[in-house]
Structure 1
């Protein structure tokens, strides 16, 4: 099912399987739920007592001029209001507590699950949609947990209490009151169907809106550099208009339904006054009962309206939970072995044996790749864009699993390691450095308490990052904005080197790590790289061939195949692909020098 279709899913208004699964999140807090239901029964009964006391006041006290008795009725009414307010306070507190606790658990589970998903999931699902699951969809469930499930009991019990008292006072008047009920049921059914349709449209357009916002804010520099603001605003306005129109259609049905309910309420009161008034005139009914019924009718329609609103909350929760559980059930994981192997004496020997790999089934980006790295060796991988260089890193770190062949470390297939065990030996420095909001220090150790401040400073000194860090106002405590916006590309790159070094990896991978920096910073980084590579098995991907001439071995990739293997001098002597790449770069450098 496509992601687009997934966002259009509306599901059932009530799905017992989904509800059963949702209720498992309430289970740890069931004592609060039972307490809230009990308080709901009490709160529902208290308003129903007011018309009963009104009847007693009119028929027994006012008619008999019993002013002391009337005063007691007034005190009782006042006491009921105070007691109802107190119970309502605790009820609101506990229902919100249930909602917040369950949503906290669910959101934590969702985020933990998203972190476990392999990169293949993120290749096919836009980030905006995943964010929508963890934010908007979870908020829809929050409404259900805090003011949906428990408060439905309140509305149902209130209706039951009112009906009990109405039939107890006068069954004939109660039946007259309920004469408009079939019309209400039909109107509610129609309203539910129309709202169901518009809700689907609202959710679909909201997902589109979130995805568009996330994508274009992330790529704002591209939008601005190509002066596409007006065009993008036009597209956004179109999506926003669709969302607005869908909401307006939803509002229209609410605007029709609620006044119609009020109209039925007025008709019911009119029927009570017509029939009940005649009964009072004929002395078949007391005036107090008539007053009580008018109050009952006004009270009766409020929970009916609330149940219609709860239906909307329930429908939203069902649709949201369907999408949330679809994400939680997504098993796009890297499969870990039942009994993973733990390396005790790590050496760092890496071997690829006849490796085939495809991001999409049948579309191989790596074809029959075989090579071996001895412990402490440095291998460089070169080739044109799309040759498969980065894919080698992706499968070595098990971001993706291979289709055929094997990859071993110290003679053990990496599929026999738990992915966390494997990755603790590997550090990767990418071309596009990602920095988190926080400070310089936490961007180096990533919040790892085992990496002390002394180790952080030492790592920064080795890679040369300490020079610019010490010039910052707060040094290692200097605030880093989102994505490191206040730092230069070179500074971000140096921090990423310090990050890799602070974890003291046995295997170091540099993916075009110097391609985005200036010549002066590159020299600084090259000096740091020499220190970093010592004693470590290293893989270096680079466009600039001048940076890899000292590599023990160079792998030349072309269209997913390993075409040449050797050191710098050996490959030049072959006068093959590497030689041509080197000649092209050498000529480009000569032109630059000449100019």
Structure 2
């Protein structure tokens, strides 16, 4: 599988076998986009063929008018000339109508394909596992949805139809020239040899240039997204000049690779025009002598010159759209690479139903390592009864969050099994798993929308009364009621109208209303100040116990005030459970937890 990421994108000089594989993958993607609209595609192509056939008829009709209709008119017969005029006008009208129809049809076709691709990219990106999103930058994914799809839009909207119509026009014109005079046809055919080699040279060099351009464009987007996302840190550490300098370097690189592609086109396009003009001159010279010798009619010579000149008319347009094609081809390679990524956490083919989970968690000989890296969780056997509140403590990097991610099935265990109520997590449907297990993270991300919408994220059908009950339970109601529009206040992007602590309280309310069997709090109180932390303790106790039989809770925290409410403490070190017991037992035992607890007590003095 081709990996979508920085290393792959920066390696623009692919080997020949890799390039072929990438092209096959891109063509397969394009074919899958055409398949649902193939009827419109073939109808549009048919209209393109007809429009170009009527377009090339003009010179042949002119030849008929000069060599046959005019002599007939001199003999007193006007019908052939009238017929030639009517045929010419009819061909022009047919060309205009067919062109208008295929242009609008192409626009509808391209928009349908782009809609399909946009939705496909978005849905696939959502389906990809957390491992993918933690490994690759969001800027590169944004580049796939923005600049790359825009490059494809430019090609599909007009580039493909222009390329197809240009090629068909040149093909039909060549047939017309051969039909009128095979000698002139051979001359025109001979000019195709230098044109072919020029096109091959351009294709080889521009393909590299446009790949580099897509990479440079993605790097610009990545830097911009990272800068805007981390703007607080940038301002706090006065990094604006360095970031601007770096952005300038990336912009300059993008300018250079873009200019390189423009320079290539500056050789390719004039070269094709020169070949076309030379061809017209040779046809005129050879044909002129043949007219003088009586071997060629004047009308035919005029038709040949017009046809030969018109033969090279689409070349300029095709050269321009070839740039779009190269850019779109590079973009298609990137998008197809993203769509080729396979989720490492996949839903089961035949899931085991678990409509009402109790919350019992069991690790049976579990081992885990990120990707192909070393094992970070050695063989682990652990039983957590339903309804128990368990605190995971330990130094940074000990493996606490890794265990939480395994329980939430953001990652799959490498060896062994991890079960919920006796069912392996890998055998549960995504709906049952997400309903049973909810994680509240340190970030407490809020989406654009109202406060009520954010609380009801896990239960969109929740009533306003249920939303307010959840907010009261975790101590969030008072500050929400004080907002400009209360629960209908728009929190804006990333919760701009509420503080970090308030975002966390909304996250607790969100978890409360979801009513999961297993609740994971991953450093979820780290954003709260001391007054807010005290305020949330009572609501947190209610959140952990629930209104009926209680729920299983996994608490990861450095602030041990939350840990004190736990039934059981697990001390994690290097992915292993080194201490297991109640808070009181471990404090009296004088081990790692006792030392952590002592240090925490001292920090409060």
TM-score over 0.5 for the pair: yes
Distance 2:182 2:415 in 1: 79
Does residue 294 of the first structure (1) align with residue 294 of the second (2)?
Answer: no
CA shift, 1:142, in A, is 4.0
Is the deviation greater in 242-251 or in 256-265?
256-265
Distance 2:355 2:412 in 1: 24
Q: Give the superposed CA RMSD.
A: 2.7
Secondary structure of the corresponding residue to residue 487 of structure 1: coil
Hey, what does 2:59 align to over in structure 1? 51
Q: Residue 118 of structure 1: which of 91, 110, 129 is its match? A: 129
Secondary structure of the corresponding residue to residue 370 of structure 2: strand
Aligned pairs (5 A) from 1:197-236: 197-236=208-247
Hey, what does 1:459 align to over in structure 2? 470
Secondary structure of the corresponding residue to residue 47 of structure 2: helix
Does residue 31 of the first structure (1) align with residue 50 of the second (2)?
Answer: no
CA shift, 1:240, in A, is 1.4
- 1:337 and 1:17, CA in 2 relative to 1: closer, same or farther beyond 3 A? closer
Aligned partners of 2:129 and 2:345 also within 8 Å = yes
Q: 1:209-243 CA distances to partner (integer Å, 9 max, x unpaired)?
A: 22222222222221221111111111121121111
Q: 1:151-183 CA distances to partner (integer Å, 9 max, x unpaired)?
A: 544233212221222122222233334443222
Hey, what does 1:567 align to over in structure 2? 582
Aligned partners of 1:140 and 1:313 also within 8 Å = yes
CA shift, 1:45, in A, is 1.1
Aligned partners of 2:459 and 2:514 also within 8 Å = no
CA shift, 1:398, in A, is 0.9
Hey, what does 2:536 align to over in structure 1? 525
Q: Residue 6 of structure 1: which of 5, 8, 14 is its match? A: 8
Does residue 187 of the first structure (1) align with residue 209 of the second (2)?
Answer: no
CA shift, 1:62, in A, is 5.8
Hey, what does 2:503 align to over in structure 1? 492
Q: 1:413-448 CA distances to partner (integer Å, 9 max, x unpaired)?
A: 323323432221112111111112233232222385
Distance 1:129 1:42 in 2: 43
Q: 1:191-214 CA distances to partner (integer Å, 9 max, x unpaired)?
A: 222212212321222232222222
Aligned pairs (5 A) from 1:121-140: 121-140=132-151
Distance 1:523 1:322 in 2: 53
Aligned partners of 1:99 and 1:143 also within 8 Å = no
Secondary structure of the corresponding residue to residue 566 of structure 2: coil
CA shift, 1:313, in A, is 4.6
CA shift, 1:246, in A, is 0.7
Aligned partners of 1:13 and 1:315 also within 8 Å = no
Is the deviation greater in 467-476 or in 511-520?
467-476
- 1:232 and 1:75, CA in 2 relative to 1: closer, same or farther beyond 3 A? same
Q: Residue 553 of structure 2: which of 524, 538, 544 is its match? A: 538
CA shift, 1:523, in A, is 2.2
Aligned pairs (5 A) from 1:373-412: 373-412=384-423
Secondary structure of the corresponding residue to residue 293 of structure 1: helix
Aligned partners of 2:29 and 2:336 also within 8 Å = no
Does residue 477 of the first structure (1) align with residue 479 of the second (2)?
Answer: no
Hey, what does 1:593 align to over in structure 2? none
Aligned partners of 2:348 and 2:427 also within 8 Å = yes
CA shift, 1:488, in A, is 0.9
CA shift, 1:5, in A, is 4.0
- 1:14 and 1:48, CA in 2 relative to 1: closer, same or farther beyond 3 A? farther
Aligned partners of 1:40 and 1:151 also within 8 Å = no
Aligned partners of 1:14 and 1:318 also within 8 Å = no
CA shift, 1:300, in A, is 0.6
Aligned partners of 1:13 and 1:311 also within 8 Å = no
Unaligned runs of 5+ in 1: 591-595
CA shift, 1:362, in A, is 5.4
Unaligned runs of 5+ in 2: none
Q: 1:441-471 CA distances to partner (integer Å, 9 max, x unpaired)?
A: 3222238543333322332232232322233
